Amino acid sequence: MKKNVLLTAFILANLLAFSSDTTRIIQTSDSVNLFVHISGKGAPVLFLHGGPGSNSGYFEHTGGNIFEQDVQMVYLDQR
């Protein structure tokens, strides 16, 4: 658990250097590709979807744009 928290914090810190509307693929040390989309401006908010086999697209397209007016949403798709 601690390893996942540290990995997430590291990813978030590196992604905040990118522009406010960008999409990236991050490859982990064990060659897993993680999809990340950043949109909006303001304080960063990390969105993690609810489980395996899902992604953050459902939230991003149905309600994320409301939050993106006030905060920078970081959509990180888990493994």
Local confidence band at 18 (pLDDT 50, 70, 90 cut-offs): low
pLDDT at residue 16 above 80? no
Reported pTM: 0.68
Supply 65's token pair. Answer: 């744009």
Higher pLDDT, 55 or 66: 66
pLDDT at residue 47 above 80? yes
What are the C-alpha distances in Å from 58 to residues 1, 6, 74, 77?
A: 26, 26, 14, 12
Rg of the chain over Cα atoms, rounded to whole angstroms, equals 12
Domain extents for the chain? 2-76
